Amino acid sequence: HLGHALAELDDLDGAQSLLDAALDAAEEMTAAFSRVQLYRSLARHADAQGRPGAALDYVRRAVALLAATDDTLDLARAHLLSGRILMTHGRPDAAGLHFDLAERLFGKNAEAVDVANLYTDQARRAVALGDGEEAVRRAGAAIDAVGDDYPREKGNAIWALAEGLALGSDADGADDAFRRATDLLAEQSHRRDYVEAYRAWGKFLRRAGREDEALEVLEKAADLAAEPVGADTRGAR
């Protein structure tokens, strides 16, 4: 848990040191769930470091452990993580299988936050495949599912909506959605998320020919990314 918290603060070296120590002790863990948590944390951390092969290896270990249990909820979440890692590294086609499996495993009794995360990831996959209409539909479903109870997840869903709108002809709608998403993520997410949201917004503005606005947003993203680890950037806008 401490390693995960350090990763949230972008202290990747500190997180790696703690996770390595936990991995050394993994064979002594008798509770499968504890090992699953460790493998998922290692997968997320490897993904953040740009090591997709290692990330997928760890999440496959988690899936193998979960497949031997009746824990379909955590198995669904592991498949969702697998798909997310594949998406991060430009493999939307492969990610689709994992998202479909997660959707079936979640079933009709999934928690709102899980549904929102699934639909958001499916919206991002649709964006990667150039299907703006499907992206908008899935992102809208994610926003509806999460309501106002999970502002971080709502921010990510609105970000996905913005990307979907940007594929169509609704430039004003996309700009507004990017603005809403970055406002939420700046307050509720860790820095890596909202820096990437700002960058996506700036790239959209540049594609739309709004160069002055794009420069302002991209400069904001650069300023946020340059903040020292642990600095309080909340409310920087």
Q: What is the mean pLDDT of residues 33-45?
A: 77
Residues 6+ apart with CB under 8 A from 192: 10, 48
Residue 227 has pLDDT above 90, yes or no: no
Residue 17: its pLDDT value, please? 61
Summarize pLDDT for 185-201 with one digit per residue, the tens.
Answer: 988 767 778 899 999 99
pLDDT bracket for residue 237 (50, 70, 90): very low
